C-alpha cells in the first residue's frame, strides 16, 4: 500500500523530507510502526508526551506492511485481532473472521486516519544506532539517512518476526530462475503455468501453497516436518453483525485481557484419560467444528503435560487429516503414524483448503530429511539421492525469521557501557519481565522474548506490554526519577523461573522458532512465559509498587534490589 504523503506542517516540529532533523528531542522515541508502535504512540500522546516513531518501511503495519505473499492472513480471529481503541473499532468493520493482509493494511490505514498518527512518524527511516548518553541520561538514535534524535525513554517495537531467514545453498548463484522469500514478496508476481518449489512446511508455507498450487503448472513442497494444521472455519461477517456486537466489545476485550492467551476461552479442567473414549471423541468433534484455535484452547488440561494425552489428541488429528488426503504417500508424510513432535509444542497453523490442494495431481511433497537439498542448478534444485535435478521457474523460501531477537540485534543497540545487544545476548537472551534489560536504562521492549508472546493473541499482549511501559514512564516522571534499569539479579531470577515453568511440560522436546533453534548458530532456549497472559500481567504489575527488581535513580521512587 502506498504511503500517504506527509503534511510536514503538521509534523511534530521535527521532520524534514520525511526524517527527523539533527538532534531532534523527544520525551520518547519508538522504533517500529506496527501494532506495537501504534499502540505505544497513541497511549503516550494521551499522556501528553512528545513522542516520535522511526519506521524502516514506507507506511504503517509492521509485519502486515512487509508480508504480502499469496494467502497471507492472520490466524487470530475478529473481533480480537484489533486494538482496543473505541474511536477506531466503532468506525471499522472487518469482512471476514480471519482478515487477509490487504484488509489488515486497510484497517491500519483507518487507525492512522482516525488518530492522525503519521504526523509523528518518520517513514523510510531505518535505525542503525541506539546509544545511551550517561551524562544527559538520554538515548541517542541514529538513522541510515543521517538523522539523529534524542529522548529520555526508548521503546523498541521492532517485531517478533521481522528479520527474514534465507539459507544459502551451494550453486545458488547459478540458478536462472527466481527466488523469493515469503517476507519480501513482490505483489505483482504470478506463477500461472510455472513450476514452483516451496521450501518449508510451516504456517507461511501452508498459506502460500493453498494459493500458488491453484495456478502453478506444478508445485513441490520440500518439507522437513509437517505442520499440524487445524480447520480455520473462515466465514464472512456482515456489517450489521458487527454493529450489533460492538456494544459487547468492551466486555470481550476485558475478558481477553484477563485470559491466558488473549481470547476469552477456557481450557477444560479435566484430564484426557478421565473420560471414556466415546465422550472424548464427541468433545473433540465439537472443538474441531468450532474452527480457529478452539481445538487447542479448549482441550483437556494435560495435553502439553502428558505424553499419553498428547498422543490421544494427535491420533484424532491424524484421522481427521487422513480423511482429507487421498494419496497414501502424502498421508504418510503429512500425517505420519508416529508423530514427529508433540502436538501443540510448535505453531499450529490454520488452514482452509490446504489438504484438498495437496490432493491435486500437480502437487507433490518431498521429505528433505531423506532427500536434502544438495545444491541449486542453473534450472532448479538437485536433491540428494536423485539422479537428475528438478526444474523450477520459482523457488519460494518459506524458511522463516530470526525470531524474537533478530530485529533487535541488527540495529546498533548498545548498552550504557557501549556493548552491542548481540554481544550482551551472545550466550543467551537476558531480560526482566520480557520488557527491560540490565544495562539498558529507560528502554522497553514490546512483543518480546521471555514473555507470553508466541502463545498469545498479538494485539492483546502488545497492549499489555505497552500499557506497562507507558504507566512506568508516567509514574517515573511523576516521581521525578531520572532512570530505571533492571538489575542483573532480576534477570537471573526471571530466566530461571521461566525455565522452571516449562521443565515438566512437553515444550522442551520440540525445536522451532519458538525456542530460536531455527537459525544456525543461534542458542536454542525457552523464550515463552507459559503461565498465561493474565498471570504475566499481574506479575509485571506487582513489581511497580516498590520497583521490585529495578534500580531507580532520582526522585522519590524506591528501588528494590533482587
Q: What is the pLDDT of residues 83-110, one digit of tens each?
A: 999 999 999 999 999 999 999 999 999 9
pLDDT number for residue 22 = 55
pLDDT number for residue 556 = 62
The span from the CA of 425 to the CA of 70, in Å, is 35
pLDDT tens column, 405-424: 999 999 999 999 999 999 99
pLDDT number for residue 117 = 98
Average pLDDT over residues 250-279: 97
pLDDT at position 461 over 60: yes
231: left (phi over 0), alpha (psi -120 to 50) or beta: beta
Contact between 168 and 180 (Cβ < 8 Å): no
pLDDT tens column, 514-549: 999 999 999 999 999 999 999 999 999 999 999 999
C-alpha cell at 317: 488429528
Torsion over CA: 4, 8, 14, 18 (sign): positive
pLDDT at position 13 over 70: no
Percent of the chain exceeding pLDDT 70 equals: 95
C-alpha cell at 94: 472487518
pLDDT number for residue 555 = 74
Average pLDDT over residues 184-207: 97
Beta bridge partners of 414: 420
pLDDT at position 19 over 60: no
Q: Which helix (H) or strand (E) holds 38?
A: helix 35-46
Average pLDDT over residues 232-238: 96
pLDDT category at 29 given cuts 50, 70, 90 is: very high
Percent of the chain exceeding pLDDT 90 equals: 94
pLDDT number for residue 219 = 98
pLDDT category at 230 given cuts 50, 70, 90 is: very high
pLDDT at position 7 over 90: no
pLDDT at position 161 over 80: yes
Cβ-count burial 190-221 (b if 16+ within 10 Å, e if not): ebeebbbbbbbbbbbbbbbbbbbbbebebbbb
Average pLDDT over residues 367-388: 98
pLDDT category at 33 given cuts 50, 70, 90 is: very high
pLDDT category at 9 given cuts 50, 70, 90 is: very low
Amino acid at each position: 500500500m502506498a504511503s500517504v504523503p506527509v503534511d510536514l506542517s503538521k509534523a511534530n516540529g521535527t521532520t524534514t523530507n520525511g526524517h527527523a532533523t539533527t538532534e531532534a528531542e523527544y520525551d520518547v522515541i519508538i522504533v517500529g510502526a506496527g501494532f506495537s508502535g501504534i499502540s505505544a504512540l497513541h497511549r503516550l500522546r494521551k499522556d501528553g508526551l512528545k513522542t516520535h516513531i522511526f519506521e524502516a518501511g514506507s507506511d504503517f503495519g509492521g509485519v502486515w506492511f512487509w508480508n504480502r505473499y499469496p494467502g497471507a492472513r492472520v490466524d487470530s480471529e475478529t473481533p480480537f485481532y484489533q486494538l482496543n481503541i473505541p474511536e477506531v473499532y466503532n468506525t471499522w468493520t472487518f469482512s471476514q473472521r480471519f482478515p487477509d493482509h490487504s484488509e489488515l493494511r486497510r484497517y491500519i490505514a483507518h487507525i492512522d486516519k482516525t488518530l492522525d498518527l503519521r504526523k509523528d512518524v518518520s517513514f523510510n527511516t531505518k535505525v542503525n544506532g541506539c546509544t545511551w548518553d550517561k551524562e544527559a541520561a538520554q538515548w541517542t538514535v541514529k538513522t541510515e539517512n543521517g538523522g539523529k534524535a534524542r529522548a529520555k525513554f526508548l521503546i523498541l517495537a521492532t517485531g517478533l518476526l521481522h528479520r527474514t531467514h534465507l539459507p544459502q545453498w551451494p550453486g545458488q548463484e547459478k540458478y536462472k530462475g527466481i527466488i523469493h522469500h515469503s517476507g519480501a514478496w513482490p505483489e505483482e508476481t504470478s506463477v500461472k503455468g510455472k513450476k514452483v518449489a516451496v521450501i518449508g512446511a510451516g504456517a507461511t508455507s501452508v498459506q502460500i501453497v493453498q494459493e500458488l498450487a491453484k495456478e502453478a503448472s506444478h508445485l513441490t513442497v520440500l518439507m522437513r516436518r509437517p505442520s499440524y494444521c487445524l480447520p480455520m472455519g473462515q466465514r464472512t461477517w456482515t456489517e450489521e453483525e458487527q454493529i450489533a456486537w460492538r456494544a459487547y466489545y468492551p466486555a470481550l476485550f476485558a475478558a481477553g485481557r484477563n485470559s491466558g492467551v488473549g481470547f476469552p476461552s477456557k481450557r477444560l479442567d479435566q484430564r484426557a484419560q478421565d473420560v471414556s473414549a466415546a465422550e472424548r471423541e464427541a468433545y473433540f468433534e465439537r472443538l474441531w467444528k468450532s474452527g480457529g484455535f478452539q481445538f487447542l484452547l479448549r482441550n483437556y488440561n494435560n495435553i502439553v503435560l502428558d505424553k499419553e494425552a498428547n498422543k490421544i489428541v494427535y491420533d484424532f488429528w491424524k484421522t481427521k487429516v487422513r480423511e482429507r488426503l487421498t494419496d497414501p504417500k502424502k498421508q504418510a508424510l503429512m500425517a505420519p503414524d508416529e508423530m514427529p513432535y508433540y502436538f501443540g509444542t510448535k505453531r499450529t497453523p490454520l488452514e482452509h483448503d490446504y489438504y484438498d490442494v495437496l490432493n491435486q495431481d500437480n502437487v507433490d511433497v518431498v521429505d528433505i530429511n531423506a532427500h536434502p537439498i544438495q545444491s541449486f542448478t542453473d534450472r532448479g534444485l538437485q536433491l540428494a539421492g536423485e539422479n537428475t535435478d528438478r526444474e523450477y521457474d520459482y523457488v519460494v523460501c518459506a524458511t522463516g525469521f530470526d525470531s524474537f531477537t533478530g530485529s533487535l540485534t541488527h540495529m546498533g543497540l548498545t548498552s550504557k557501557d557501549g556493548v552491542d545487544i548481540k554481544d550482551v545476548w551472545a550466550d543467551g537472551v537476558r531480560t526482566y519481565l520480557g520488557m527491560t534489560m540490565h544495562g539498558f536504562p529507560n528502554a522497553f521492549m514490546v512483543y518480546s522474548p521471555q514473555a507470553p508472546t508466541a502463545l498469545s493473541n498479538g494485539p492483546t499482549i502488545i497492549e499489555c506490554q505497552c500499557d506497562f511501559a507507558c504507566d512506568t514512564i508516567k509514574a517515573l516522571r511523576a516521581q521525578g526519577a531520572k532512570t530505571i534499569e533492571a538489575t542483573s539479579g532480576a534477570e537471573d531470577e526471571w530466566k530461571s523461573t521461566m525455565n522452571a515453568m516449562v521443565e515438566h511440560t512437553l515444550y522442551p522436546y520440540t525445536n522451532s522458532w519458538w525456542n530460536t533453534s531455527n537459525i544456525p548458530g543461534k542458542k536454542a532456549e525457552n523464550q515463552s512465559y507459559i503461565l498465561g497472559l493474565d498471570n504475566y500481567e499481574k506479575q509485571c504489575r506487582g513489581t511497580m509498587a516498590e520497583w521490585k527488581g529495578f534500580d531507580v535513580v532520582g526522585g522519590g521512587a524506591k528501588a528494590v534490589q533482587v
